[in-house]
Chain A
Amino acid sequence: MKHLRSIDELGVDGLVALLQLTDHMAEINQRPVPKVPALRGRTVASLFFEDSTRTRLSFETAAKRLSADTMTFNVSTSSVNKGESLRDTVATITDMGVDAFVVRHKSVGIPWQISQWTKASIINAGDGAHQHPTQALVDCYTIREATHTQRFDGMQITIVGDIKHSRVARSNIQAFSMLGAKVTLVAPPTLLPPDISHWPVQINHHLDDVIPSSDVLYMLRLQSERMSQGHVPTLREYSEQYGLTQKRVSRLKDSAIVMHPGPMNRGVEMQIDPSDVKNSLIHRQVANGVSVRMAVLFELLGTGSSLGGQA
């Protein structure tokens, strides 16, 4: 595997293999010294054109635990703001000797464009509303860990919120379906893409209808600018219709899991503190982020036998 740009590109076998590899990484992270020399001498560059704390830190932590060198490209101080083209920026960093770029950009398709300009591996850390494959891997791993199942056959996963603008939703719909889950999207029609008939999902506009049957309730973040664009009348109305309230939590199955990719909008989609939800996996999502990204980096840059030993 050369790049990780979309879940599609990964395929079901690649997805399952990465989840299995993540088990090894989780084991490393349990050690007193959670560090192995697997990627010593390799360099991973973070190229974040959009604000991100957790994803960037998660990747950088993952790279360091595998002993890779890291460099961070900070857009606000970079020459991109001085008119240098993205292509020139990528070429310059490539010349410094980079094995992988971790890229986040507001524009759809940037990871594919960059991969034409460099020999390095490309990991998509989010391109516009298109894909965020490592988040989907994290979420699959987290569900797998909580339910002790390799596959999600028959599992009812409900994704709630701004599907239209969500790269997390697009990657997760693909990944959850690949593993056999039944996915239901819950949103007002304005927050769904206009033509969705080819997606392997059910649609429901009423959250309360699907609460009792959901095994996983996956809440998406609603950005406040959606109001000014006419997608929702007010945040209050949205959170009444689609927010997670104590009342809704009480109607969930005992075994149901609540997830959120972060950062949360408390008082909007989360009307309740996640620590008050019995089966909230939101903290597990963050913790597993490092293990999953270690697996991805190792898969792209590592060699088969280099996982053992200590740094």
Chain B
Amino acid sequence: MSKSVVIKGGTIVNPDGQSRVDVRIENGKVVEVGANLSADVQLDASGCIVSSGFIDLHAHLREPGKEEAETIETGSRAGALGGYTALVAMPNTDPPQDSIAVIDFVREQGKRAGLVDVVPSGCITLGRLGETLAPMAELAQAGVTLFTDDGVGVQDASLMRRALEYAKGLGVTLAQHCEVAELTKGAVMNECQCCTDLGLPGWPSIAEELMVFRDIELVRITGASMHFLHLSTARSVELVRAAKRDGLSITAEVTPHHLSLTQELLSSYDSVYKVNPPLRSAEDIRALKVGLLDGTIDAIATDHAPHPRRDKEMSLDMAPPGMLGLETALGVVMAYGDLEIKDVVSLLSWNPARIAKIDADHGRPIAVGESANICVFDPDLAWSVDIERLASKSINTPYVGRTLRGRVRHTIFKGTPTVIDGQAQK
């Protein structure tokens, strides 16, 4: 028998409303919601929001293959500290997640860490090479629901069409990293005036939008389900908005950094700002925010991409793209997103749980009988990143010295606190 836990004095945020009640948890479930509850472990939540735990649709946990940057355990801990109870592990590992063996390994390492549900995604193509389909049926039988070649987009339109047709038969969703590779050769940053001044090869918006457009049309003719990863441009939002209006089975995500940081930061020559897709303009940020508010964009996903310091210390063109996200997502979204609390929870928890098809246990209302995957956060607390205290193995975060707002206080995973008062419990 695990210890019973009570969350006291917080405000519950559910899809049907908010209320100030205590929550009692036993054996992994919410067993009581009401006033003046008690239990073995008491977690103070005064002034805090109590919501379902967050689900990240886009985490690079780097294991197997690049354990110098992150492991499933350290990434899980970073996730728990960020309020997450489930992480979709991106498949660009080495070896990639295109076989049962690797999928099982990732899932088992997740269980061993025991801090969040690690949900492995599968590759669309074998080896993420864009040449032949990965054994999607076999992987789907092993429980994979989301397939992506993330890091690259599937360039071959015919192959992508086949992948969508095949996925439709399996009832799984394909997630596309939209980037037409011919348009981004050697690219470092968004094509803009700043890029002109720096003499860097530009990463034009059209490289993303062309593939968004292509895939929308492929979804239209195949009837398959599609999720767009890390959209970054105003025109992409418009395209997805129109596709949803047409009733296509399409969802989309945006990252916290594409909501908060602009292209001009690259003129510091600091490769921490190099991401894929690149940071864009202030106008793009405005459009992404409108997309969040009107439901065009369904989820905020981190694209948590740890890299060892020596890799990020290279020149702008040589350094790998990507930045950390798990420990700062809430603080960035609350500080920069201009969103209501309910929207924040919806974008970080309820919607991504549905997209990852893990909504039997995640993204649930805080109610009796539901799985106790819960995040308790102080929505008003201002804080900034202390690089020494990051749980991630890497330190490539751009938010040092920037004020974030909203911080996770407790995280409860399957009824057990993984984070209490901002401290990881294991």
Q: Write out the residue numbers on chain B whose beta carbons fall within 8 Å of the beta carbon of A130.
A: 198-200
Could you say which of B192, B204, B310, B316 contacts A109, with CB atoms under 8 Å apart? B316
How far is it, in angstroms, between the C-alpha of A308 and the C-alpha of B192 when the chains are bound? 48
Interface set of A (CB-CB < 8 Å, partner B): 85-87, 105-110, 112-113, 128-131, 165-167, 170, 193-199
Q: Write out the residue numbers on chain A whose beta carbons fall within 8 Å of the beta carbon of B268.
A: 112
How far is it, in angstroms, between the C-alpha of A197 and the C-alpha of B315 when the chains are bound? 27
A194 & B196 in contact (Cβ 8 Å cutoff):
yes
* Interface: B68 (CB within 8 A): no
Residue of B with least CB distance to A110: B315
- Report the minimum CB–CB distance from B206 to chain A (whole Å): 11
Of the listed residues B193, B195, B196, the one surrounded by the most CB atoms of chain A closer than 10 A to its CB is B196
* Interface: B41 (CB within 8 A): no
A194 & B315 in contact (Cβ 8 Å cutoff):
no
How far is it, in angstroms, between the C-alpha of A196 and the C-alpha of B314 when the chains are bound? 28
Interface set of B (CB-CB < 8 Å, partner A): 188, 191-193, 195-200, 202, 204, 268-269, 310, 313-318
Q: Write out the residue numbers on chain A whose beta carbons fall within 8 Å of the beta carbon of B200.
A: 108, 128-130
| A170 in contact with B199 given A195-B191, A198-B193 (CB within 8 Å) | yes
Residue of A with least CB distance to B311: A85
- Report the minimum CB–CB distance from A79 to chain B (whole Å): 15
A108 & B198 in contact (Cβ 8 Å cutoff):
yes
Interface SS, B side: loop
B199 & A167 in contact (Cβ 8 Å cutoff):
yes
| A109 in contact with B315 given A194-B202, A194-B204 (CB within 8 Å) | yes
- Report the minimum CB–CB distance from A279 to chain B (whole Å): 30
Question: Can you show 6 pairs from A to B with CB atoms below 8 A apart?
Answer: A87-B313, A107-B318, A108-B200, A109-B269, A170-B197, A195-B191
Q: Write out the residue numbers on chain A whose beta carbons fall within 8 Å of the beta carbon of B192.
A: 195
Q: Write out the residue numbers on chain B whose beta carbons fall within 8 Å of the beta carbon of A110.
A: 315
- Report the minimum CB–CB distance from A226 to chain B (whole Å): 13
How far is it, in angstroms, between the C-alpha of A112 and the C-alpha of B193 when the chains are bound? 20
B315 & A196 in contact (Cβ 8 Å cutoff):
no
Could you say which of B191, B196, B269 contacts A113, with CB atoms under 8 Å apart? B269
Residue of B with least CB distance to A164: B199
The 6 closest A-B pairs by CB, nearest first: A129-B199, A107-B315, A109-B269, A193-B196, A130-B199, A112-B269
Q: Write out the residue numbers on chain B whose beta carbons fall within 8 Å of the beta carbon of A196.
A: 196
How far is it, in angstroms, between the C-alpha of A9 and the C-alpha of B315 when the chains are bound? 20
Interface SS, A side: loop
A195 & B199 in contact (Cβ 8 Å cutoff):
no
A108 & B316 in contact (Cβ 8 Å cutoff):
yes
How far is it, in angstroms, between the C-alpha of A87 and the C-alpha of B318 when the chains are bound? 14
How far is it, in angstroms, between the C-alpha of A105 and the C-alpha of B198 when the chains are bound? 14
B199 & A85 in contact (Cβ 8 Å cutoff):
no
Q: Write out the residue numbers on chain B whose beta carbons fall within 8 Å of the beta carbon of A165.
A: 199
| A197 in contact with B193 given A108-B316, A108-B317 (CB within 8 Å) | yes
Could you say which of A105, A112, A128, A198 contacts B199, with CB atoms under 8 Å apart? A128
Residue of A with least CB distance to B318: A107
Could you say which of A86, A128, A195 contacts B196, with CB atoms under 8 Å apart? A195
Could you say which of B193, B310, B317 contacts A107, with CB atoms under 8 Å apart? B317
How far is it, in angstroms, between the C-alpha of A194 and the C-alpha of B200 when the chains are bound? 11
- Report the minimum CB–CB distance from B229 to chain A (whole Å): 25
A105 & B315 in contact (Cβ 8 Å cutoff):
yes
How far is it, in angstroms, between the C-alpha of A87 and the C-alpha of B198 when the chains are bound? 22
Known: A107-B317, A130-B200; 17 extra A-B contacts, CB below 8 A, are A85-B313, A85-B314, A86-B314, A86-B315, A87-B313, A105-B315, A108-B188, A108-B198, A109-B198, A109-B316, A113-B269, A113-B315, A130-B198, A194-B191, A194-B202, A195-B196, A197-B193
Q: Write out the residue numbers on chain A whose beta carbons fall within 8 Å of the beta carbon of B310.
A: 85
- Report the minimum CB–CB distance from A117 to chain B (whole Å): 9
How far is it, in angstroms, between the C-alpha of A259 and the C-alpha of B271 when the chains are bound? 36
How far is it, in angstroms, between the C-alpha of A87 and the C-alpha of B200 when the chains are bound? 22
Q: Write out the residue numbers on chain A whose beta carbons fall within 8 Å of the beta carbon of B316.
A: 107-109
How far is it, in angstroms, between the C-alpha of A87 and the C-alpha of B313 when the chains are bound? 8
Residue of B with least CB distance to A128: B199
- Report the minimum CB–CB distance from A86 to chain B (whole Å): 7
Q: Write out the residue numbers on chain B whose beta carbons fall within 8 Å of the beta carbon of A199.
A: 196
Residue of A with least CB distance to B202: A194
Q: Write out the residue numbers on chain A whose beta carbons fall within 8 Å of the beta carbon of B269.
A: 108-109, 112-113
A195 & B193 in contact (Cβ 8 Å cutoff):
yes
How far is it, in angstroms, between the C-alpha of A19 and the C-alpha of B195 when the chains are bound? 29
Of the listed residues A109, A131, A197, the one surrounded by the most CB atoms of chain B closer than 10 A to its CB is A109
- Report the minimum CB–CB distance from A260 to chain B (whole Å): 20
Q: Write out the residue numbers on chain B whose beta carbons fall within 8 Å of the beta carbon of A198.
A: 193, 196
- Report the minimum CB–CB distance from B117 to chain A (whole Å): 38
Residue of B with least CB distance to A170: B199
Q: Write out the residue numbers on chain B whose beta carbons fall within 8 Å of the beta carbon of A106.
A: 317
How far is it, in angstroms, between the C-alpha of A199 and the C-alpha of B197 when the chains are bound? 9
- Report the minimum CB–CB distance from A224 to chain B (whole Å): 18
Q: Write out the residue numbers on chain B whose beta carbons fall within 8 Å of the beta carbon of A105.
A: 315
